Structure 1
Amino acid sequence: MSEWKARRFWTATTVAEADDGFAVHLDGRGIRTPGKTALVLPTRPMAEAVAAEWDAQHENIDPLSMPVTRSANSALDKVHPQHAEVADMLAAYGDADLLCYRAASPAELAARQAEDWDPALDWAETALGVRLHIRAGVVHAAQNPDGLARLAAQVHALDDFRLTAFHDLVSLSGSLVLGFAAAQGWRDADAIWRLSRLDESWQEDQWGRDDEAHDASEVKRAAFLHAKRFWDMC
C-alpha cells in the first residue's frame, strides 16, 4: 500500500498582517501548526519565507522542503509551552562549553585549539560579560556560578522564535559561546561552524576522511546554517 501524502489544495499564497505579526494565507485562509495554533510569524521576512515554501509545493506537500515553516511550527508548538525548560537546557552548555576543554596533547592540536578558540572566549568576555575558563582534558570542572547566571539570563531573555533558532545553534555546535557568536554575527555562520568541528578536522588531517561521518556532519552543518538564517528572520 502506498503511503498517503497531503496534496496541494490551494491556488494563491499570500502574506497578511495579523495581531502581533504576520500570517500566511492559502486562498485567504490562515495556516495552523500541527498543534492547531494559528501560524503567526513575528516579522514580514519570515512570513514571506514561509509563503515561498508553501507556494513552491507541487501536487504533494513535502514538509522536508519547508524548513522555515517547520522551525516556526516548533517555536509555537514546542518551545512556547516550555520556554523556561528549553532555556535552562541551553544555558547549561555554558558549564561544559566545547571551547573550554582542551587537549593536553598532542601539542599541535592544543596550539590549534588555542589559536582558533581563544578569540571566541575573548569575544564572549566583551560581548556577553562573562569569561569562561579553560580546562585541560575532558573531566568536568564547574565554571563561576555568577558568570553562568549572567549567561542564563541572556538565554531566558530570548523570545520563542529566537530561542528555537538558538537551540540548534548551541546544540549542533556543542557550545553556548559559539551559539551566541553565530546569533550576534561575530563571524559568518560557516566559519563558526568550522570552529565547532576543529577536533574532527584534526582527526581527518591525521587519519583521512570517514565518508559516513563527513556526510552526517554536512547534514548538521546545513541545519546550523538554517538556524542562523531563521534567527536573522526574527
Structure 2
Amino acid sequence: MMPLTYHEVTVVKAKKGNYTINLDGQELQSTNSVVIFPNESLACEVAKELGQLKDNLSFSDLPMTRRTLAAYDRVTPNRNKIDDIVLNIALTDVICYRAVNQPDLNVIEKEKWDPLIKWIDQEFALKFSVAIGVMPIVQPTNTVSKLKNLIQKYNDLEITAISELAVNTCSLIVTLAMIKRKISVSEASSLVFLEESHQIHRSTEEININKQQDAVQQELTEALEFFFLVSK
C-alpha cells in the first residue's frame, strides 16, 4: 500500500536507457517487481504525480501512475487475454455496424464513419466489412490475421492504453485513428456517440448523455496521453 505522502521523489537513470523512481530512497514497485520506465518523460510525469500525492487525493487522481502500475500488475501477466479483448473489439467494431430502419441516421453514419473505414485500409491495409443491423459480421480472414499481428507488436505499456481506448470507444478503428493523430479525442467521442446524439436531435424528449460523454472523453484523454508518453 502506498503511503499518503512522500518527502523525496526522484527519477533515476537505470540500465539500457531506462529509468526508475525512488520514493524516500525506495524504488517504486508494482505488486511483483520494480517499475522500469522506458523513457524519462513517463518517469518524470509519474514522479510529478507521486510528489504531489496528498491526503485528499485518491489513486484516480494519479492517471499516469495508475496506468503504469496496471500495465505491470494486470496487463503483463495476462497479455494474451488482453490481446484477445482488443481483437474481439476490432471484430465487433461499432464503426462497422449501421442502424436498422433509420435511413437518415445511415446517411450520417456513412458520412462520418466511412472515411475511417477507408483510412484504416490505407494506413494498415485492413479491410473491414460493414453491415446494417447487429448480426455478427465475419471479417475477412486476412484482416483477422493482420489484426492479431498488429496488436502483438505493441508493448505492454502501449497495449494498456490501447485496450482502454478500445473498451471506451467500442472501436479499435477509432482507437488507431487517435494514436495515429488522425482524429482528436473530441472527434472520437462524437463518432462513437453518433447514434445517441442523433436520438437527442430527433427526439421530443430530452436525453441527457453529456455527463457520460464527458466522462468518456476524460478517460480517452488520459489514456491517449499515456500512450504518447510510453511510445516516445
* TM-score between the two structures when normalised by the length of structure 2: 0.91
Q: Secondary structure at the match of 2:7?
A: coil
**Which stretch has the larger CA shift, 20-29 or 111-120?**
20-29
Alignment of 1:1-234 (within 5 A): 6-8=3-5, 10-20=6-16, 21-33=18-30, 35-59=31-55, 62-207=58-203, 209-211=206-208, 213-234=209-230
Cα 1:94/1:61, change in 2 over 3 Å: closer
- Cα deviation 1:122-169 (Å, max 9, x = unaligned): 110011111101101111121111111101110111100000000011
Q: Secondary structure at the match of 1:40?
A: coil
Q: Secondary structure at the match of 1:15?
A: strand
How many residues align? The count is 228
Question: 1:12 Cα deviation (Å)?
Answer: 1.9
Q: What is the alpha-carbon distance in structure 1 between the residues aligned to residue 95 and residue 49 of structure 2?
A: 36
Q: What is the alpha-carbon distance in structure 2 between the residues aligned to residue 149 and residue 157 of structure 1?
A: 13
Q: What is the alpha-carbon distance in structure 2 between the residues aligned to residue 92 and residue 157 of structure 1?
A: 17
Q: What is the alpha-carbon distance in structure 2 between the residues aligned to residue 16 and residue 136 of structure 1?
A: 54
Cα 1:148/1:209, change in 2 over 3 Å: farther
Q: CA RMSD in A?
A: 1.9
Whether the aligned pair in 2 keeps the contact of 1:90 and 1:176 (CA below 8 Å) is yes
> Identity percentage over the alignment?
21
Q: Secondary structure at the match of 1:23?
A: strand
Q: Secondary structure at the match of 1:64?
A: helix
Q: What is the alpha-carbon distance in structure 2 between the residues aligned to residue 174 and residue 225 of structure 1?
A: 16
- Read off the aligned partner of 1:169 and give its amino acid letter: L
Question: 1:216 Cα deviation (Å)?
Answer: 2.8
Q: What is the alpha-carbon distance in structure 2 between the residues aligned to residue 199 and residue 19 of structure 1?
A: 50
Gaps of 5+ in 2: none
Question: 1:109 Cα deviation (Å)?
Answer: 0.5
- Cα deviation 1:84-113 (Å, max 9, x = unaligned): 221122112222111111123322100000
- Read off the aligned partner of 1:81 and give its amino acid letter: P
Whether the aligned pair in 2 keeps the contact of 1:16 and 1:25 (CA below 8 Å) is yes
Whether the aligned pair in 1 keeps the contact of 2:189 and 2:216 (CA below 8 Å) is no
